[in-house]
A and B are shown apart, each in its own frame.
Chain A
Amino acid sequence: MPNSTSTNIKIACLTFVVSIAMSMSAVATTIIYSGGHEIDEVAAALGDVTLAGANPAAGFADADLAAAIGDGQTGLYGAYDALVLGENYSSFSPAD
């Protein structure tokens, strides 16, 4: 078998394995948490649910929350699946 064909087959196999691995590990729920009691233990206990990166365990302050959320795609923490409003949302308005 020519070397080029052998190399192509190796690349194809590697691509296949990587693709399968990505498919199997691509299900998760990322939450953004705002204002309330500590929720880091909660997120850690939830298995496939994770707290967004650098999300304070006690939640974001109001102003920081808006920056963190962004539009769900381009915000500071990128795509997320759920916004969890902790106990301290009395200052939020419908406009927020």
Chain B
Amino acid sequence: MVLGAHGDEVAFLNDTFGYVVTNFPASSTDHTPINRVSGDGPATLLTLDGSWFIDGAPGTLIYAREGGGDAGFIDAYGSGTVSWLAWDFCECSELDSDQAAWFSVLGTTAIGGGSSTEIPTLSTWALLALSMLLGVVAMAALRRRI
């Protein structure tokens, strides 16, 4: 996942992943609304200090700035996912309440494409072991009664 970088994200995204995105000129501090256009997450974000926008977002555009400018996308790439958000997550005296929606997007939409990843555990093996154990106990009990 790539965060905003004062315009440097354009070269990084293009050079690294072969995209063809360009900078969209817009103020990064005017709190212009940014609307969700697909996926899950807050319906509206605000343009916060350190937000930089692009044109030509690849994959699925998830947020777009009112008046122009892509503000977030998710794209399947190889066996993984590339995502980008316009804000650089600089607190920069922004209100916590204004940042909260961006945090939510970072966690639930951009990372993992909206779903958390299940960590492999031993639970499956434990259930199999439990089944075998119960079977052994049942056999032992039956043999004692016969």
Contacts of B133 in A (CB 8 A): 8, 11-12, 15
B14 to A, closest residue via Cβ: A94
* Chain A nearest Cβ from B22, distance in angstroms: 17
B111 in contact with A36 (CB, 8 Å)? no
C-alpha gap A4/B141 in the complex (Å): 10
Within residues 50 to 88 of chain A, which ones have a CB less than 8 A from any CB in chain B?
79, 81-88
Q: Tell me whether B116 and A27 are in contact (CB under 8 A).
A: yes
Q: How far is the CA of A36 from the CA of B2 in the complex (A)?
A: 11
Partner of A19, one of B119, B123, B137: B123
Residues of chain A within 8 A of B112, CB atoms compared? 29, 81-82
Q: Cβ of B95 < 8 Å from any Cβ of A?
A: no
Which partner residue on chain A sits nearest B7 by CB separation?
A90
Offer 12 A-B interface pairs, CB within 8 angstroms, sorted by A. Answer: A26-B118, A27-B118, A36-B3, A39-B89, A45-B100, A49-B107, A84-B106, A87-B88, A89-B5, A89-B12, A92-B16, A94-B16
